[in-house]
Structure 1
Amino acid sequence: MYEDYTRQALPDRNYRQLLGAALCVFNSNNSFVIENILNSDEKRLYNWFDLIDQTSGNLSQPIKNTITKKSGTQITNLFSCIIKKRNRIIHSFQITDSDGKQILSTKDNQGKQYHITENFLLEFIKENEKLSDLLYEFRGY
């Protein structure tokens, strides 16, 4: 598919919409994780300016020192899983699949390649919804 703003081949609109939604819900949760770190940081070890500059993976220690300390590992484990999937999306490469459609593909650390399908993106969005619910519950909403 082509658009007026680029001559490069693009995935279809629905795929791009899901891809955009996937990135947006992740970014929202990343910010919400930081908010929860700051709100549960009794020792005031962290500040927004430093945390917002960290990669998501580098938030693991602040999460363990604050959120996990008060609520267990469920949020930490889910966020870690989501980060790995987000990384596969971000570090993907575009291909033409067997149906002639543009799609993203990626590989895991063991070298196994797989496509980032619409179902993959929908599952990622649902996992982010679950994380958001856990973060709201942790926050006391």
Structure 2
Amino acid sequence: MYEDYTRQALPSKEYRELLGTCLCVFNSNNSFVIENMLSNSSELNWYNLVDLESGRLRAEFNKMSSPFPEAIVNLFLELVVRRNRIIHSFQITMDNVQILATKTRVRDGNEQFIISKEYLIEFISMNEKLSTLLHEFRGY
């Protein structure tokens, strides 16, 4: 697919909308995780937390005097891995359609991991679950 603003081949509008949604919901949750961390720990600093890559928040969870809910930490860190797969992907043509993929290491080399529409929808759904857990933890 092409758009007026580029001659490069692009995935479908729906796929690109899902990609954009993935980025937005993750970014929102990343900020909400930091907000929750700060509201439960006086040892942490917003400027330092915001400057960290999302995966580096793992160490900051351990610095908190009152424990952060394990379900939130685990889900957030799983989403970081999935988000990284999306961000560090490359574009391929599959069945005459543009889509993203990454490589997965296997015993004797690598294989492509297709970032399907279903993968993106699952990522969005998992972020919704994280948002709900964060709201509950915060007392909303």
State the TM-score, normalized to the length of structure 2: 0.92
Which position in structure 2 is the counterpart of 1:56? Answer: 54
Which structure 1 residue ranges, 5 or more long, are not aligned? Answer: none
Corresponding residue for residue 84 of structure 1: 81
Distance 2:71 2:66 in 1: 8
Cα deviation for residue 68 of structure 1 reads 7.2
Aligned partner of 1:32 in structure 2 is 32
Q: Residue type matched to 1:87 in 2?
A: N
- Displacement of 1:77 in angstroms is 0.6
Q: Alignment length, in residue pairs?
A: 137
Residues 43, 64 of structure 2: 8 Å contact kept: no
Match of 2:21 in 1: 21
State the distance in 1 between where 2:99 and 2:65 align: 36
Task: Give me the TM-score of the superposition, normalised by structure 1.
Answer: 0.91
Q: Please give the root-mean-square deviation of Cα atoms over the aligned residues, in Å.
A: 1.5
Give me the whole-angstrom Cα distance separating, in 1, the residues matched to 2:29 and 2:14: 22
- The structure carrying a bigger strand percent of its residues is 2
Return closer, same or farther for 1:68/1:93 CA change in 2, 3 Å cut-off.
Answer: farther
* Distance in 2 between residues matched to 1:82 and 1:20, nearest whole Å: 15
The residue type paired with residue 65 of structure 1 is K
Q: Counterparts of 1:79 and 1:39 in 2: how far apart (Å)?
A: 17
Structure-1 residue corresponding to 2:8: 8
CA positional deviation for 1:7? 1.1
